[in-house]
Amino acid sequence: MIHIPVLHQVPPPPNRAGELRSSGDIHIGKLLNALINFALVAGAIYFAIVLPTQYMLKRFSPPTPPAPPRPSLPECLSDIPLAARRCAHCAQPVA
Ligand SMILES: [Zn+2]
């Protein structure tokens, strides 16, 4: 057990005073138990929910078409948007 004297001055919350009658001690066993429980539950949720969901989404979602190539002007070699009619850099009209 680790003794922290500062925690003696902090009163427990009034509604949970009965179960949290703290003496300022940290119980390493309870802390390790909570950490192991957290890791086990997190692993179970990840392998039981997250991985199958990702697999199903990847399997049943249609493949996205590749983006069309962006046009570039031969004068300034700048990429321009598809809907543009004139270059923003050199003001050349785009065919
Ligand atoms: Zn240009």
Start-end of H helices in 1-95 = 28-45, 51-60
Clarify whether residues 19 and 46 are in a common domain.
yes
Clarify whether residues 14 and 48 are in a common domain.
yes
Q: What would the pLDDT profile of 12-21 be if each residue is shown by its tens digit? A: 666 655 555 6
Range of the domain at 35: 2-60
Q: How far is the CA of 78 from the centre of ligand 1 (A)?
A: 6
Q: How far is the CA of 9 from the centre of ligand 1 (A)?
A: 70
Clarify whether residues 55 and 78 are in a common domain.
no
Clarify whether residues 10 and 28 are in a common domain.
yes
What b/e sequence results for 30-50 when a residue is b if at least 16 CB atoms lie within 10 Å of its CB, and e otherwise? eeeeeeeeeeeeeeeeeeeee
Q: How far is the CA of 81 from the centre of ligand 1 (A)?
A: 11
Q: How far is the CA of 33 from the centre of ligand 1 (A)?
A: 65
Clarify whether residues 50 and 91 are in a common domain.
no
For position 54, what pLDDT does the model report? 95
Q: Is the pLDDT of residue 42 over 90?
A: yes
Paired residues of 34 in beta bridges:
none
For position 32, what pLDDT does the model report? 95
Confidence of residue 76 (pLDDT cuts 50, 70, 90): confident
Q: How far is the CA of 87 from the centre of ligand 1 (A)?
A: 5
Clarify whether residues 11 and 56 are in a common domain.
yes
For position 64, what pLDDT does the model report? 83
Number of compact structural domains in the chain: 2
